[in-house]
Amino acid sequence: MIKRIGIFGGSFNPPHKGHVEICRHIFKRNDVDQIWIVPCFKHPFDKDLAVYEDRIIMCRFAFSEFFGRVKISDVEKILGDVSYTVRTLDYFKARYPDNKYFLIMGSDTAEDAPTWKEAGRLRTLASIIEVPRGDSSPISNISSTDVRSAIKFGNKFAELVPRDVAVYIVTHGLYG
């Protein structure tokens, strides 16, 4: 049986309520059977990221409400080196060839996608599900940058992230 798998990659630095709402939105539309969250191991644009293991743990907390419909994948750590979406999709297609893949991205990310490594091949490996972002979107207009900035400047941030993620950030002193 062919499974429809949504691949939702990103820094998840940290995962926030907008990320969770994207999953709810995709499931509500019945676009996929399962979503695989893929935190990048080493960002191709050399972004400064929290430790990979911290981001994986926060993702497990953030997406726990989906009870198995969302899987947190450490594939980019397994592959090592710089994380490229095309390489990740190649891995999944080789390892699980019977699945149909959908690349989930916000409209803000979709604008940058043509600059990604082997961007032309992406559409041959997966269909694109573009989720609207911004003021007119059904998804909260939250970014990980907003969360990190609030923490850095001592502002309230707990309403931007799932509760367990907020607790993890505070107890581990992240982004301060």
Segment 85-144, tens digit of pLDDT? 999 999 999 999 999 999 999 887 777 777 778 788 988 999 999 998 888 888 999 999
pTM of the entire predicted model: 0.93
Q: Dihedral (C-alpha) 95, 99, 100, 106: value to the nearest 10 degrees? A: -70
pLDDT at 136: 80
- Strands 70-72 and 4-10, sheet pairing: unpaired
Q: What's the rounded Cα separation, in Å, for the pair 14 and 103?
A: 20
- State the pLDDT confidence band at 44, using cuts at 50, 70 and 90: confident
Instruction: Work out how many domains the chain is built from and give that number.
Output: 1
CATH code for the domain in which residue 124 is found: 3.40.50.620
pLDDT at 47: 83
Owning domain of residue 23: 4-172
